[in-house]
Amino acid sequence: MKVLSQNTAFGGMQGVFAHDSEACKGEMTFAVFVPPQAIKEPRPVLWYLSGLTCSHANVMEKGEYRRMAAELGLIVVCPDTSPRGNDVPDEITNWQMGKGAGFYLDATEQPWAENFQMYSYVTEELPNFVSQHFRMDMSRQGIFGHSMGGHGAMTIALKNPERFKSCSAFAPIVEPSTADWSMPAFEKYLGADKAAWREYDACALVADGARFPEFLIDQGKADGFLDNGLRPWLFEEAIKGTDIGLTLRMHERYDHSYYFISTFMDDHLKWHAERLG
């Protein structure tokens, strides 16, 4: 593990690290906040997945999570959103594809399949790696994220209910297989057969039988992406008739930015802490 930076915050440690990823065939960067309680005992782990165009740095610098994470004793891990590097395929003029837009799936189509294995990276390789270096209680894991990362968190939780005890999202893409800003990426990553897309679509996963105890979703009503990209009401409709719980909070005047995320970050951290024990 390569140490890129380490800083003390609220009695804990905020670090940025890099390692060679077998899944993504290159060096990957991630951030970890370790609360002061981890000096004495393993602590619960909360995974935060960022959105399109972002990296680990966006929430680390603007998410305002460290004070509450230190108070609650939560380790917060923030992976990157995609592989990086000069040899990684990209569409430079398309912010919805390539670097910064991994969609937390395992690509099957060329030229993306070689590097864009973000589902395997986030669910298998990175947890196995970080658990060797930090005092984590891997029996108590939660996951949350923003936008594309909210999509990732919800689909990962639905597919791994035995691993995660909590899941929440800020303005998630709940049905990416029909959203304007994700359909083209899904076709390029996964091919034209939309049956393959269902594995990475929260609404489709529920329709196909996937279950998770409950979700917390916060959404701003002034979000410019609400009607053609996010559409949380579709997930509300998808879980009708199931035992999945949903707390959906729609907020007047809030947009898609980190001003919105930082406003409700404490609520999400407390939500996870209650469920992680």
Three state DSSP letters for 71-99 = HHCCEEEEECCCCCCCCCCCCCCCCCCEC
Q: Has 131 been annotated as catalytic?
A: no
Dist. CA 215–CA 150, nearest whole Å: 11
The two beta strands, 43-49 and 75-79, are: parallel
Q: Which residue of the set 21, 50, 82, 147 is catalytic?
A: 147
Report pLDDT for 177. 97
Report pLDDT for 273. 98
Report pLDDT for 75. 98
The CATH number of residue 259's host domain is: 3.40.50.1820
Dist. CA 215–CA 180, nearest whole Å: 24
Report pLDDT for 225. 97
Write out pLDDT tens, residues 207-254: 999 999 999 999 999 999 999 999 999 999 999 999 999 999 999 999
Domain that holds residue 119: 2-276
Q: Has 256 been annotated as catalytic?
A: yes
Tell me how many domains the chain contains.
Answer: 1
User: Does the pLDDT of residue 82 top 90, yes or no?
Assistant: yes
Q: Which residue of the set 90, 223, 268, 272 is catalytic?
A: 223
In Å, how far are 161, 182, 196 from 205, measured between CA atoms? 12, 17, 11
Asked whether 156 and 164 are in contact (CB, 8 A), the reply is yes
Q: Which residue of the set 56, 151, 256, 272 is catalytic?
A: 256
Write out pLDDT tens, residues 153-192: 999 999 999 999 999 999 999 999 999 989 999 999 999 9
Q: Has 243 been annotated as catalytic?
A: no
